Each structure stands twice: as C-alpha cells, then as structure tokens.
Structure 1
Amino acid sequence: MPVERIAIENVVSPGHIVRVDRTKYEAMKVALLAVLPESAPGLTVAQAKMQLLPLLPQDLFPGGAKAGWWLKAVQLDLEAKGVLAREATKPLRLHRAG
C-alpha cells in the first residue's frame, strides 16, 4: 500500500515545499499541539520533545525513532502556517499562535 503524502512548508525557506508521510506528520502534529502552551514563554524544543514522546504511536515512532526530525519538520510547517509562534530566546521557545 503506497504511503500517502502531504506537502509541508518551511518558515525558514519560504516557497520551499517538501512532501512527507501524512500519517507520521499528523501524529506528530497532534502530539506537538497537545504539549505546547497557548502563550509565551512556551517550551523549548527539547522540553516539547520530552513531553510529546509518550504521546506518539509506537508503531510509527518505535522508541521515539526519528521523532526529532519529525518534530522539527512539523514545527517549521506550523510556523509557516501561523499555527505556532517562536519567542526570540536562546534556546528557542515555542507556543501556539494567537
């Protein structure tokens, strides 16, 4: 059975579109939005990853495999779409937008 793909954007590279596995994207999106607060200061990417790992389906992310890559891909796409916002801090902190 072929993998269904979804086009995602990258806030850092406007206009650059990548097609990725829809099932993994959606699973990561649900987990990420579940852990990120609605306002600043938000969570660091490392904090978000620690909190979302238990929420990921083990059949898609066995032992958290590739979760870091998917987290970053979904983060950048949701930022490009205005769903997530980043704070100008070091380390970077994320929260849901407006």
Structure 2
Amino acid sequence: MTHTLDERTRTLRDLLERQFEEFTAQLTDLTTDARQPGQGGHDPDTLRRLIEVAQQGVADAAQALQRMSEGTYGVCERCGRDIPTARLEIRPVARFCVPCQQRR
C-alpha cells in the first residue's frame, strides 16, 4: 500500500507529537524525582543523565515540529537534499541525510 505525502507527513507529525509528549512526561517525572530525598531511587549521576536525555528529546522533537511548520522538515541541513522517508520513519527528528550524518 502506498501512502501519499500528506499521509506520511501526518503520520510523522503524530509520531513527533507523541515523542514530545513522552519526553515531556519523563522530564516532569524525573524532575519530581530529583526533588525527593531519595531521588526516586536513582543515583545523582544517573538521574542527571536521564534528565539530560529527556531534555534533548523534548528539544529535538520540538525542533522537528518547528521545521515541519516552516516547510523545511525532511531536508538535509548540510546538503539540502531530501532526507529519505525511510530514515525519517526510523529517526523522525533527523536533521541530516545518512551520508551527511556520517560525515559529521
């Protein structure tokens, strides 16, 4: 079954919105844990790293959604070529095509 561009874009937008919500919820939970005496059972270094990962996830998803609204989503920031849909389905926050990502 082939999908139209609009269907793929809608599917990717839904995925990005879900990721944004999930990372936001994680960040909220981890921030609450950080304020607890036992830090939610996490050692301080692990908790700090988990918070950093959640913050990056929120930022990446928000930036991808912003690129969608600007019409630049799916375009490699380095070479300007389209990022293949298969890559975006695997990594919807991708900013670079595979060759450019490997060069970084």
Q: Would the TM-score normalized by the shorter structure come out above 0.5?
A: no
Q: TM-score under structure 2 normalisation? A: 0.25
Structure with the higher fraction of residues in strand conformation: 1
Structure number with bigger Rg: 2
Structure with the higher fraction of residues in helix conformation: 2
Q: TM-score under structure 1 normalisation? A: 0.26
Q: Which has the higher contact order (CA 8 A, sep 6+)?
A: 1
